[in-house]
């Protein structure tokens, strides 16, 4: 049984992807972290090995609280994927103008919306996750040609932030056919062991 378990682990390991979480810098967390008069770009460097790509990605917002609203009493938070090579956090002034600040400063394939979240009233606290779809993933991998991309946040009104985290997995890197060969070898050995045990039981 131990041999079967070991072989199964070997076979399964060949298909595993590497998972990573990157938390937003501390400057974008805490009380009043997102101010309505500003927009923010968070640069995330990711070094991918040749032939490697990001296979899944998500953006998780935790405990985002609306502390001041517009005339309607509501708030909205926009987020975008940006083709930019800025590092760290950059702050822009938009004077709490309605709408998404970044759609007016990035065009065409250089910006992909990650959606927006509406807060119904002051004091509303929300947590949510944006799971990247195929279009967003394709854009992310294209933007990473330069080794870095940005996520833009435009808060209409003011927010406290618990945490914002970018989560991603990468496809495994291997020399030509190495991973496939190991995987198939593992499966073959596993099949042989199962057959041997069946034969041994039949002779009893």
Q: Is the pLDDT of residue 125 over 80?
A: yes
Does residue 198 or residue 5 have the better pLDDT?
Answer: 198
Over its C-alpha atoms, the chain yields an Rg (Å, rounded) of: 23
In three-state secondary structure terms, 38 is: strand
Is the Cα torsion angle 154, 115, 23, 74 positive or negative in sign?
A: positive
Q: pLDDT, tens digit, for every residue of 27-86? A: 999 999 999 999 999 999 999 888 899 999 999 999 999 999 988 899 999 999 999 988
Q: What percent of the chain has pLDDT over 90?
A: 67
Mean pLDDT, the chain, integer:
86
CB atoms within 10 A of CB 177: 9
What H or E segment, with its residue span, contains residue 51?
none
Q: Please report the pLDDT score of residue 18 as a whole number.
A: 76
Closest CA to 152 of 82, 52, 95: 82
Q: What is the DSSP letter of 53?
A: -
CA angle 99, 104, 109 (to 5 degrees): 115
pLDDT value for 184:
59
Q: Which residues pair with 116 in a beta bridge?
A: 78
Asked whether the predicted pLDDT for residue 160 surpasses 60, the reply is yes
State mean pLDDT over 176-203.
64
Q: Are 97 and 38 in contact (CB under 8 A)?
A: no
Assessment of whether the complete model's pTM goes beyond 0.75: yes
pLDDT at 12 over 50: no
- DSSP string of 56-118? EEEEEEEEEEEEE--TTS-EEEEEEEE-----EEEEEE-TT-SS-GGGGT--GGGEEEEEEEE
- Other Cβ atoms within 10 Å of 191 Cβ, number: 11
Residue 16: band (very low, low, confident or very high) from pLDDT cuts 50, 70, 90: low
The ranges assigned to domains in the chain are 17-171
CA–CA distance, 36 with 70 (Å, rounded to integer): 9
Q: What is the pLDDT of residues 95-106, one digit of tens each?
A: 999 999 999 999
**Number of H helices and number of E strands within the chain?**
3, 10
Q: What percent of the chain has pLDDT over 70?
A: 79
Query: Given 2.60.120, 1.20.1070, 1.20.1740, 3.30.479, which CATH number is that of 17-171?
Result: 2.60.120
The pLDDT assigned to 159 comes to 98
- Per-residue confidence at 198, pLDDT binned at 50, 70, 90? low
Distance CA 188, CA 196 (A): 12
């Amino acid at each position: 049984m131990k041999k079967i378990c070991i072989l199964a682990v070997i076979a399964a390991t060949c298909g595993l992807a590497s998972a990573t979480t990157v938390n937003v810098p501390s400057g974008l967390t805490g009380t009043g972290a997102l101010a309505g008069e500003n927009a923010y770009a968070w640069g995330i460097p990711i070094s991918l090995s040749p032939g490697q790509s990001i296979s899944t990605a998500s953006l998780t917002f935790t405990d985002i609280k609306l502390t001041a609203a517009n005339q309607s009493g509501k708030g909205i938070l926009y987020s975008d994927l940006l083709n930019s090579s800025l590092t760290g956090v950059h702050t822009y002034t938009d004077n709490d103008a309605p709408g998404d600040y970044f759609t007016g400063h990035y065009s065409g394939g250089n910006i992909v919306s990650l959606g927006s979240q509406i807060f119904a009233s002051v004091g509303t606290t929300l947590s949510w996750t944006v799971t990247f779809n195929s279009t967003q993933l394709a854009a992310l991998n294209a933007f990473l040609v330069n080794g870095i991309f940005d996520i833009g946040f435009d808060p209409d009104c003011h927010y406290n932030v618990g945490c914002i985290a970018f989560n991603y997995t990468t496809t495994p890197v291997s020399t030509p056919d190495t991973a496939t060969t190991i995987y198939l070898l593992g499966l073959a050995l596993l099949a042989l062991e199962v057959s041997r045990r069946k034969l041994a039981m039949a002779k009893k």
